[in-house]
Amino acid sequence: MEFCSIYSGSSGNCLYVGTERTKLLVDAGLTGKKVQEGLKEIGIDPTEIKGILITHEHDDHIKAVGILSRRFNIPIYANTNTWNAIYKAIGEVKLHNIKVFEGYEGFEIGDIFIKPFKIPHDAVDPVGYSFYHKNKKYP
């Protein structure tokens, strides 16, 4: 499994997580253009992204989420409270790309199992994610 911080800081956050088969983003808090450039720099085609996982509703984590979803038909994963806090800010997305989850139950995207967990932050219901691939846990 590969992890690569595309951007991290108060101006925006975006993390790439992927296997050969499944490529994901955690947050997309910059412009769509900057996220695409960051993916290009690490050799990832944005059309291969299978989901964007949202940690919380702050703009430096969601700025390009709607744009990327619309442009590349990417599903957006967020818990109910976070989704309710972001849906107006990210603009309209296709219904099939809205993937809302409850609580901290894990779910799969491709060959990656994702387990959300509660984190302390000044947001409505912030989460972190643990990733599992081939029976191994990644941060």
pTM for this prediction: 0.96
Total of domains in the chain: 1
In angstroms, the CA 48 to CA 27 distance is: 16
In this prediction, residues 122-133 reach a mean pLDDT of 96
In this prediction, residues 87-94 reach a mean pLDDT of 96
Q: What is the dihedral of CA 36, 68, 84, 82, to 10 degrees?
A: -30
Q: What is the pLDDT of residues 29-42, one digit of tens each?
A: 999 999 999 999 99
> Domain holding 34: CATH number?
3.60.15.10
**Which residue matches tokens 């800081």?**
9
In this prediction, residues 114-133 reach a mean pLDDT of 96
Residues in Cβ contact with 111 at an 8 Å cutoff, skipping those fewer than 6 apart: 19, 21, 22, 133, 134
- Alpha-carbon radius of gyration of the chain: 14
Burial of 105 (0-12, 13-18, 19+ CB in 10 A): exposed
Q: Please state, as a whole number, how many other Cβ atoms lie within 10 Å of the Cβ of residue 73.
A: 13
In this prediction, residues 68-74 reach a mean pLDDT of 98
Range of the domain at 110: 2-138
Write out the chain in H/E/C secondary structure.
CEEEEEECCCCCCEEEEECCCCEEEECCCCCHHHHHHHHHHCCCCHHHEEEEECCCCCHHHHCCHHHHHHHHCCCEEEEHHHHHHHHHHHCCCCHHHEEEECCCCCEEECCEEEEEEECCCCCCCCEEEEEEECCEEEC
> Is the predicted pLDDT of residue 10 greater than 90, yes or no?
no
Percentage, residues of the chain above pLDDT 90 = 95
